[in-house]
Structure 1
Amino acid sequence: MTHPQRFTGKTVLVTGAGTGFGAEIAVRAAQEGADVAVHYRSSRAGAERTAERIEELGRKAFLVQADIAERAEIVRMADEVWSHFGTVDAVVNNVGDVAREQMSWRDITEESIDHVLAVDIKGTLLCTHEFGSRLLDQGGGAVVNIGSTVVVRGSARAPQYAAAKYGIIGLTKSYAHAFAPTVRVNVFAPGFIETEATLGRQDWQSGRGEQLRSNTPLGRIPRPEELAGAALFLATEDANHVTGGFLVADGGYNMVGA
């Protein structure tokens, strides 16, 4: 498959790029010509494999570890990435906790609430703040925050996850205003994705996956690599008049009125 070369000569930073959707976004950026900073928290082996895939494409990869729930670690990560590459053109804030092990709202714990909000809202806000301000200082760039269509219907399974993803919309719009017109900030909102983690979920295996497919107009749940290009669109020149936006890619499952 031939990919458009939308990132030739550019550098992209992807958080949570050791596994799942983040790994495929990082590899797709490389397929489109980018050198890539590959962030991970604990998935070192996965991040190394992502880096190998990037280098196999003839692009440069740089691994960086950090816990994005801690501001000092985000600042250190930014220092390392900017020092290594000199400049960054686009940032994809992909890291997020979906409370995957929780199968019912009745099972919610204060620990889970605190962790999901710390990673998804605090972490994404601090990453947007730190990376976006550096893009602003260097004179341009784009930030893509990975959201979710859970904000359309909510989540009876994990209310803290829906609350967190709503928070990402608010912080994205806020920084879109703050960084305009120099840096664009948008949300990419996928529906369900068939990552290994999703396929391993108890509810998915007991029929939910099939139910979702039957209720999706396009009739299937995509693999992460099928959505990576759409997520990166928001960081391209073709999206140069899009900021504070919310781009949905869910096969039509959550169709809502304009």
Structure 2
Amino acid sequence: MKKILITGVLGGIGSALAIAFREAGYYVYGLDIQESEHHQADRLIQFDLHAFSTNEDYRNEWKHTFNVLIPELHVLINNAAVQMLGSLDELKLDDWNHTMTVNLTGPLLLSQHFLEQLEDVHGSIINIGSIHQQLTKRRFISYATSKSALIGLTRALAVDLEGRVRVNAISPAAIETDMLLAGFDGNQGALDELRKIHPVQRIGRPQDVATMALFLASENSGFIHGANLSLDGGISSVLKDL
């Protein structure tokens, strides 16, 4: 049985990823900062990605734990992310640093730690980016920058690792998750307008991301390497009239 590790597994996209990969026959390890009895992983592991990225003692302890818990791994999905909003004149350095450690440094360190296991089985790393790596809006400075850097990391790892482990990214546009709703402060009118300006006339679903991730993890996509696949319902092609 193939093994997969998904970070941020309790979120909307993380849950959909866990369901899809379990249905495809994978054993799913899920990492999340929260504990919950309601999860879709085979095994939920409470884990602080920010601490792993900033605290050497915590990192060393978890490296040992991972070696015991997950001796074999076929796919790593770096899905966990934080979204702290703020314009330049109100941006807090702590929020900026926290965003970078979770959204960028964490994926780097987990990829580094599990490299040997992934290489042994010709596995793959999938980074969950965002449309904000290309198109953004006010107050998303930290988030947009971190996702742009994550796509850069994806390409750099693909070049650096050559044929050892495939590395790709998925950059979704609006996906109906709690994070998206928080960004709109629950404004249903704005969400309806967002649906209308997508050429497909809807917002993405977490399952859309999971379907693409399954494809990237499959052997059929073995020539896709260093790619950033856009999953945006056509919105990046829209020039909207005012």
Instruction: Judge same fold: TM > 0.5, yes or no.
Output: yes
- Structure 2 distance, partners of 1:79, 1:229, is 32
Contact 2:13 / 2:210 at 8 angstroms: preserved in 1? yes
- Per-residue CA deviation, residues 166-194 of structure 1 (Å, 9 max, x unaligned), is 11011111111222202000111111111
Q: What is the root-mean-square deviation in Å for CA atoms of aligned residues?
A: 2.2
- Structure 2 distance, partners of 1:25, 1:159, is 27
- Structure 2 distance, partners of 1:221, 1:239, is 26
- Per-residue CA deviation, residues 186-236 of structure 1 (Å, 9 max, x unaligned), is 111111111133224444516331222111010001221232111232111
2:43 pairs with 1:62: yes
- Structure 1 distance, partners of 2:204, 2:121, is 36
1:103 Cα deviation after fit: 6.4
Q: Identify the match of residue 27 of structure 2 among 35, 55, 80.
A: 35
Residues 146, 19 of structure 1: alpha-carbon distance in 2 compared, 3 angstrom cutoff? same
- Structure 1 distance, partners of 2:231, 2:168, is 14
Q: 1:32 is aligned with what amino acid?
A: A
Matched ranges for 1:230-249 at <5 A: 230-249=212-231
Q: Identify the match of residue 49 of structure 1 among 12, 34, 38.
A: 38
Residue ranges of structure 2 left out of the alignment (5+ in a row) = none
- Structure 1 distance, partners of 2:229, 2:218, is 14
- Per-residue CA deviation, residues 33-52 of structure 1 (Å, 9 max, x unaligned), is 111101111x211xx322xx
1:104 Cα deviation after fit: 5.0
1:91 alignment partner in structure 2: 76
Which secondary structure state, in structure 2, belongs to the residue aligned with residue 92 of structure 1? strand
- Structure 2 distance, partners of 1:200, 1:12, is 29
1:68 Cα deviation after fit: 1.8
- Structure 2 distance, partners of 1:83, 1:17, is 20
Mean Cα deviation higher: 178-187 or 64-73: 64-73
Residues 34, 124 of structure 1: alpha-carbon distance in 2 compared, 3 angstrom cutoff? same
**% identical equivalent positions:** 29
1:139 Cα deviation after fit: 4.4
2:107 pairs with 1:124: yes
Residues 23, 75 of structure 1: alpha-carbon distance in 2 compared, 3 angstrom cutoff? farther
Residue correspondences, number: 234
Q: Identify the match of residue 114 of structure 1 among 79, 97, 121.
A: 97
TM-score by length of 2: 0.87
Q: 2:158 is aligned with what amino acid?
A: A
TM-score by length of 1: 0.82
- Structure 2 distance, partners of 1:74, 1:192, is 33
Residues 146, 78 of structure 1: alpha-carbon distance in 2 compared, 3 angstrom cutoff? farther
